[in-house]
Structure 1
């Protein structure tokens, strides 16, 4: 049996006809790191708050370990759920030292137990020598680790993190993804993270749950999610992609589109009528004798690669394609280029 079970969770807010979360079911194993990923208003934070006990579902059940924490309107208070929360703004007390911030949730522990536990978790997050400092004397990344240490201190069953990297600059953000993941793994903690950033989700998660309009769109590992998006929303939200409609060929392995024939990673087992394919930009490789030919309309230099917008076959009724070229390649606006498409980065989507 899964460690965390959310079954048929629906949440209506007052004076709304459409649910914020719509019949959501999600099972999480012990020790897993799961990310709820989606745009603003998709229901991911509401789901997190219902699990924490800050919001009550309209219908459904929630179970953590062997304990049912919500069912039929009966709800276990947040402080009795064994769940630790790391808020987006960290919510540290500015007038307390780091040591006392971490100690704050250990009210029922003896003084000796408190000091020992604080020492353990500060050592876990690499901040032992900062125990007498105040939050204002720490960097953003250090404050985040203090917030995580405080959440871990009572030995909760689950850690919930709401947009944990949103307040950090790009360089620190990348570093903290690695550090937070390492801390959670070392603590052997089950964690659920909420974010709208695909890179955050992919960097830290065992599985990613993509949500839109209160409904789960897909649950998969980061690699599977990116390579095999289930539908157009997932394909477009998780990275950039080119969506093309077409007709499945008799061999069940190729799709005839308005840019030409596109090869799928493997043959389908049954025929279909009209289909939609997702082609990732990095799946398009520039080649002097490539199958697909087009005129470059725009080139955006990102530092890591060039994002090239290409109009194929001179057809203005067809959306141009976006492909990635390496920074060493000389690509100019107005030039004619050719490329091939790697089948492994092509997927059929709903």
Structure 2
């Protein structure tokens, strides 16, 4: 493994921000530290970078302990959410900053990086004239200029509006894969993590609760707190048999070993149907491409979804059927 983290703990006085974390990143892999604000994921990234003192544990690169190695000698590139560009330098000056610190002049490298991030011809632009997305592309090019062995990305897209963030996430994923960059990404945004990362490490309350591929952590959260972070709003027991799960809210096809299962239902797990569990709509909220409903059944009040043009509202009687696309199997892999 390129990066190995073992038992890392970071404390601020009596408060433990990161507790006994262990993880590994393979060469060329993108790993996302995903969790809510205040979970300790940025602190962990800063500890790996050498910006936070370890109370315990170790950070190693190719087996070599980095204890005592200063930030600027670790060979890591850093990119933060606000880009932190130098306003008194043009685009080329910002990108070449790290190279100049090493006494290297590489205009071809700058041009190549601008092409890589989709900003060819921007060398002489003032950074104050750039859009938010363009500024973040320049910040990425600057972080990549010294050819870091590990790229550390701390909420790189969070300052952008939703549309720009979505597009830049797709573009950034393409850049990372084309350049075969080893990277550690910190984000609270699930879509961003799933777009950019090969694997996801879920961080809650300073601990890594689950590490796995995107599909694995989404479909099989390790416990209820992780499932709730991934949008599960209803938990109930069921049984699996022959590729079908059955519970008090109905049944649905789902590939899971036979036996008892703990199911987690996201709102999309229950949809309006001509047949199914009867209920009464308590509330509805318009979302971009669907209606989000709260419905009272004989068992409990649950979340569900309906087509955006469905004529249904509070007080209406409905029937709800399970949709396997919104079901997670909790604590069983």
Residue 186 (str. 1) matches residue 178 (str. 2): yes
Following TM superposition, by how much is the alpha carbon of 1:253 offset from its aligned partner in structure 2, in angstroms? 6.9
Aligned partners of 1:150 and 1:251: how far apart in 2?
54
The residue aligned with 2:42 is: 45
Specify which of 75, 80, 98 is matched with residue 91 of structure 2. 98
Aligned partners of 2:167 and 2:184: how far apart in 1?
19
The farther-off stretch of 150-159 and 321-330 is: 321-330
The residue aligned with 2:286 is: 301
Preserved CA contact (<8 Å) 1:160 1:191: yes
Specify every segment of 5 or more residues in structure 1 that has no aligned partner in the other structure, as ranges. Answer: none
SS of the counterpart of 2:164? helix
Aligned partners of 2:269 and 2:179: how far apart in 1?
38
- CA deviations on 1:66-95 (whole Å, 9 max, x unpaired) are 53213xxxx211111110000121111101
Specify which of 53, 58, 73 is matched with residue 80 of structure 1. 73
Alignment of 1:1-350 (within 5 A): 2-16=1-15, 19-70=16-67, 75-107=68-100, 109-110=102-103, 113-238=105-230, 240-246=231-237, 259-260=248-249, 265-266=254-255, 268=257, 276-290=262-276, 292-313=277-298, 318=300, 320-343=301-324, 345-350=326-331
Aligned partners of 1:181 and 1:94: how far apart in 2?
27
- Could you state the TM-score of these two structures normalised by the residue count of structure 2? 0.91
Following TM superposition, by how much is the alpha carbon of 1:340 offset from its aligned partner in structure 2, in angstroms? 1.6
Preserved CA contact (<8 Å) 1:90 1:147: yes
Preserved CA contact (<8 Å) 2:87 2:127: yes
Preserved CA contact (<8 Å) 1:286 1:338: yes
Specify every segment of 5 or more residues in structure 2 that has no aligned partner in the other structure, as ranges. Answer: none
- CA deviations on 1:249-290 (whole Å, 9 max, x unpaired) are 99997565xx4565683565666xxx7420122222322122
Aligned partners of 2:14 and 2:39: how far apart in 1?
18
Aligned partners of 2:61 and 2:209: how far apart in 1?
23
- CA deviations on 1:159-194 (whole Å, 9 max, x unpaired) are 111111111011111111011111111221111111
* Aligned positions, number: 331
Aligned partners of 1:245 and 1:284: how far apart in 2?
13
The farther-off stretch of 301-310 and 323-332 is: 323-332
Aligned partners of 2:249 and 2:132: how far apart in 1?
50
Distance 1:260 1:286, change over 3 A: closer
Distance 1:303 1:269, change over 3 A: closer
- Could you state the TM-score of these two structures normalised by the residue count of structure 1? 0.87
SS of the counterpart of 1:106? helix
- CA deviations on 1:21-50 (whole Å, 9 max, x unpaired) are 111110111111111111122110011001
Distance 1:268 1:93, change over 3 A: same
Preserved CA contact (<8 Å) 1:229 1:235: yes
Following TM superposition, by how much is the alpha carbon of 1:349 offset from its aligned partner in structure 2, in angstroms? 2.5
Preserved CA contact (<8 Å) 2:77 2:152: yes
- CA deviations on 1:289-340 (whole Å, 9 max, x unpaired) are 22x1110111111121111111002x6xx3x111111224332221111122
